[in-house]
Amino acid sequence: MTARLSSDERYRLRFLIGADRNRRNRCRLDKDDDSPDWQRETHNRRLRHVRILRGQKQEAIVQFLAAWFSTSRYSHFEFEGEARVSLRVMLINQGQAWQASDDEAHRLIQAGLDKVGAVRPPREQGQQEWTLEEWCGFCRGPLDDAAIGRRDRFCGPDCAKLALTKRSYGIGGYSRNFIGTVAYRQVRREELPERECMNCRGAFRPNTTTVTDSAQRKYCSMACWGEARRTLPDVQCQNPGCRQVFRPRYSDAQFCSHRCSVEGRAVMLPIRDCAYCRTPFQPKNDQALYCSPKCNQRTKDARQKAKRDATRVPIQCVNCGETFTPKKAGARFCAERCWREAAGRRRTRPPRLESPISRLFDAA
């Protein structure tokens, strides 16, 4: 007999269920939607999602969504929110859970967007402060070449300070936002004293946010840093059709490009036959003997095999008694047939000896 709950117990149970639901909702609201943990949890949940719609019904809905998204005026994502709500409500009315319905709507909408060739932009491009790299991120004014070379996003420190103070960056502040980090770096750079570049002797301020990095900066740009680290002089291309002076990356570089390397070696080194497969090939240097690393390795394997065969001593087969040269160390049989015969003899049981006790039982 099933015990029935009293009115007080039913009220207490409803209160606990509601408290647990509120606790889960608070946890869901406290979790930042931009955090890596939340994104990883959402991605893993969608991977575990079991499809609800399949076959012709799924294909019909995807075709309808693709036709709907293609009629958008500004962007393919213009009707994404409306389509997601409609699909979720339809699936919930059919008896599906809310989360499963939302994941299924997300999957169908993504299939429709893929069919029309829509590429979802990153999150940074959807923010109000997003601009092209040639325009200021606050006043939308043009940036000069020096600012673009330093990867600044603001035309000056005033716009950078306004971007830090006048905008809301949500949970985590500007330190978790790309534009906010760039604004802080630009403001921080203007507060540092100027110093002289070790290469071009020009005045510059370190483009960094920490005191340790700013103290270690010695060059105004990556170009000056690379120029200061350069130790190889300019050389002339060895291609007879080029003869252009270039900056080598390695000390033994002879050609300025891959095309000059192919053309120059064709003129300087004649075509020869591979020492293994006898295929004609274009050598890259005077010592090249093989057309590919595979032929080189096969030659080494053949040479090592001949060396091993020369050191092996003929032995006698354990099964048939014939003399043979073993192919590997520890060989005892001349062929697989002898090995099987010996193994069969080992598996054969010896004849059973008659016990004296069995004779007593037989006599009785």
Our CA angle for 164, 170, 174, nearest 5°, is 35
- Does residue 247 carry a pLDDT above 80? yes
82: pLDDT strictly greater than 70 = yes
Alpha-carbon distance 95 to 171, whole Å?
36
Is residue 155 within 8 A of residue 141, CB to CB? The reply is yes
What are the tokens at 326?
Answer: 């073993």
Q: What is the mean pLDDT of residues 212-220?
A: 74
Please return the burial class of 80, using the count of CB atoms within 10 Å of its CB with bins 0-12, 13-18 and 19+: buried
Distance (Å, whole) CA 279 – CA 22: 77
pLDDT at 211: 54
pLDDT for the residue numbered 132: 67
Instruction: Give mean pLDDT, residues 321-326.
Output: 83
Q: At residue 9, does pLDDT exceed 60?
A: no
Q: What is the pLDDT of residue 213?
A: 64
* Residue 295 confidence (pLDDT): 92
Q: How long is the chain?
A: 364
Residue 360 has pLDDT above 60, yes or no: no
Pairing type for strands 203-204 and 235-236 reads unpaired
User: How much of the chain exceeds pLDDT 70, in percent?
Assistant: 80
Whether pTM exceeds 0.75: no
Residue 2 has pLDDT above 50, yes or no: no
Give backbone dihedrals phi and psi of 34, rounded to 5 degrees, phi first: -95, 0
Residues 206 and 176 sit within 8 Å (Cβ to Cβ): no
Tens digits of residue pLDDT in 138-173 = 887 888 887 887 778 888 888 888 888 887 777 777
- pLDDT the model gives residue 297: 92
Output the average pLDDT for the chain.
78
Residue 245 burial by CB count (10 A; 0-12/13-18/19+): exposed, middle or buried? exposed
pLDDT tops 50 at residue 13: no
In the prediction, which pLDDT does 363 show? 53
The three-state secondary structure class of 184 is helix
Convert the pLDDT of each residue in 294-306 to its tens digit.
999 999 998 888 8
Residues sharing a CB contact under 8 Å with residue 258, sequence separation 6 or more, in sequence order: none
Residue 162 · residue 183 · CB < 8 Å: no
**Does the CA dihedral 32-36-38-43 come out positive or negative?**
positive
Encoding tokens for residue 327?
């192919």
Helices (H), the chain: 7-30, 36-47, 55-70, 80-93, 98-115, 145-149, 157-165, 178-191, 211-216, 222-229, 258-268, 293-311, 336-347, 356-363
- Average pLDDT in the 76-93 region? 88
pLDDT at 212: 58
Residue 195 pLDDT exceeds 50: yes
